[in-house]
Amino acid sequence: MNKKIAVIVVGTNNVSLLIAKKDGLNIEILKRKSDVSALGRNMENGKLTNAAIRRTKSVLHDNILYSKLVTDEIIVIATSCSRDAKNIIQLSNWLKKKHNLKYNVISGKKEAYLNGLANLNEFSADNCILLFDVGGGSTEFTVIKNKEITSTNSIELGVRRLDTSFKYDFNNKINWTKNMLQKFKIQKNDNYRLIMIGDIAQNIAALVNDYNGATMEVMNKCKVKKAILQKLLVNFRKYPATLVKDKLNSGQIRSEIVSTGLMIVIEILTHFKVKECTISEHGISSGILYQSDKELKKMLKN
């Protein structure tokens, strides 16, 4: 397969777009962007709100039209929120009718596996790495040992999920996070190198490096210390939401959401008894492209 492919990932908080040229295992990234759609905002009793569906349709529509300027090969992937939503058919039916595209809802395990696939050769000097991706509705963990994916896990812990459940009760968010981390099954290991990926990783890297609007390519493999994150959390919770735009170049991200993301990452580092983690630019979108041609064709088939 030698062609340009667009991958659109519909998450609980963001819709991300990756357009790349694929030639075997060689991937050339042509465009990468992420927009806040807040699909999971105010989700209750397993149902998405009409406002959330409208927002996500709008973002999806814009990304699809943009992608079609480059390629007709478009894959739409959906994660945590779409797994949970009882009325997700409203979005999937619209996508099929409006754009003749399949709405591929994948499991948490598959999500974690794709994250691993994207990073198999990125940290070859390390014998054992633990990838984690803090999303809007779930957090995925992937263990890679000697360039092989040995374990994948997904837990219902995410910034939008906590925001919906506890609103501004930050102490309850912390307690819930600690409890969720105690329950899941990846064994602690002093030799893990922790690698953080995804939109939360990009936001945190931008905050730590005070680099507004920095791309993931620029921040790839930068290190983030827990002590710095702890200071950021204390300071960031004091900022009114109006200052988020100045910090992260986005007026759509509320300060509470960023604070919750910082807290989850800090608790993960604490849980695994490490003092820092490393950012990777490669996440689920890249993992999709590293699949076999057979798997890609399944996702492309409408």
Listing DSSP states for 113-132 in one string gives HHHHHHHTTTSTT-SEEEEE
Structural domain range at position 273: 123-279
Which one, of 268, 292, 250, 276, lies nearest residue 33 by Cα?
A: 250
Are 66 and 174 part of one and the same domain? no
CA–CA separation, 227 vs 140, rounded Å? Answer: 23
- What's the pLDDT tens digit per position in 38-69? 899 888 889 999 999 999 999 999 999 999 99
- What's the pLDDT tens digit per position in 239-286? 655 445 555 555 455 667 888 999 999 999 999 989 999 999 899 999
Are 172 and 268 part of one and the same domain? yes
pLDDT of residue 72: 94
Are 160 and 226 part of one and the same domain? yes
> Considering the domain boundaries, does residue 287 fall inside one?
no
Are 136 and 191 part of one and the same domain? yes
Are 59 and 196 part of one and the same domain? no
Q: Tell how many helices (H) and how many strands (E) occur in the chain.
A: 13, 11
> Considering the domain boundaries, does residue 284 fall inside one?
no
What is the number of domains present in the chain?
2
Question: How high does pLDDT run on average in the chain?
Answer: 87
Are 64 and 200 part of one and the same domain? no
Are 166 and 262 part of one and the same domain? yes
Q: Which CATH number covers residue 34?
A: 3.30.420.40
- What's the pLDDT tens digit per position in 234-252? 877 776 554 455 555 554 5
Are 166 and 93 part of one and the same domain? no
